Amino acid sequence: MRPLFIKFLIIIYIIILNFNSSLAKEFRYDVRAYNLNVMEINFNIDDEINNKITFSAESVGIVGFFVKVLAKSKVEFNDKSKNTWKYEYRYDKPTTNKYRLNKINFSKEKVLNFETDPPRAEDLTKKIPYNKEDYFGVIDPIFAVKKLFLIDKKNLDCDKKIKVFDGNIFYYLVMKKENVQIDFDSIFSNYKGKLQKCILTYQPISGYIPGDPNTPEQFKVDLYFGIVGDNYFPIYATTKGKKGIRLKMYLDTIQ
């Protein structure tokens, strides 16, 4: 399971953060390929009380048997104003004893400092260099989509763009609404009804290697929203994974 798809999972997870926090705090999604469950995702939203949001994903089934992958991400705000915060993301492959840990400190949408452990071994001469302006007007992946998506059932506004930094690459998240609705009925979800389609794209700015298959110039996710309570909610999402395999994510439970 490649790191870019983990980023996709985090992005999808944050879309739910505007859902009424008094109604739900924990969420679970199933990720499937060829109808086989390959990953389970769990979220805990606690930013209104303890100024913290956490995410975890773990490979399961036959994928988990051969390639165990763990990913955890969290944001901790210094106070209720949310002007200053720290972001942390850890990606582990226990079978190979490999991991990657990114830490970033932000203040008023500016990158103060960041660190990566272990340091990346890429050829820096091949990467698109950072520019001074990249460090300003930018936020982390988790806080980004919480600010980007205001998913009120009266107005599913998808036409937005925001700049993000994940500790390695600066990129834009761009979301647009499509005039497409589907009648959704799947054995993998309890939700049944009409869903509205939006498209999310990942567009790298700097810090990436052009032509790198793990950082395509444009990474697209099809999102399908349904109304739950007073909010639109991502019920179903799909994208192409490694080697063109179609990956699908279904909302399983809300607690």
Q: Does the pLDDT at position 130 exceed 90?
A: yes
Q: pLDDT digit string (tens) for 21-51?
A: 444 456 678 888 888 888 877 766 654 545 6
* Percentage of residues in the chain having pLDDT higher than 70: 72
Q: Exposed, middle or buried: residue 66 (CB in 10 Å: 0-12, 13-18, 19+)?
A: exposed
Higher-scoring residue by pLDDT: 121, 8: 121
Higher-scoring residue by pLDDT: 39, 101: 101
**Domains in the chain: boundaries:** 3-254
DSSP-derived letter for residue 25 is S
CA count, 13 A, side-chain hemisphere, 1: 31
Higher-scoring residue by pLDDT: 115, 61: 115
From the list 178, 144, 136, the residue with the least C-alpha distance to 161 is: 144
Q: Round the average pLDDT of the chain to a whole number and report it.
A: 79
User: Residue 18's pLDDT band (boundaries 50, 70, 90)?
Assistant: very low
The pTM (predicted TM-score) of the whole model is 0.81
Q: Does the pLDDT at position 1 exceed 50?
A: no
Contact yes or no for 133/160 (Cβ under 8 A): no
Q: Exposed, middle or buried: residue 49 (CB in 10 Å: 0-12, 13-18, 19+)?
A: exposed
* Percentage of residues in the chain having pLDDT higher than 90: 26
Among 145-159, 184-198, 227-241, the range of highest mean pLDDT: 184-198
How far apart are the C-alpha atoms of 210 and 134, rounded to whole Å? 18
Q: Is 94 left (phi over 0), alpha (psi -120 to 50) or beta?
A: alpha
Q: Does the pLDDT at position 66 exceed 60?
A: no
Q: Which residues, in sequence order, are bridge partners of residue 48?
A: none
- Furthest CA-CA distance within the chain: 51
The pLDDT value recorded for residue 183 is 95
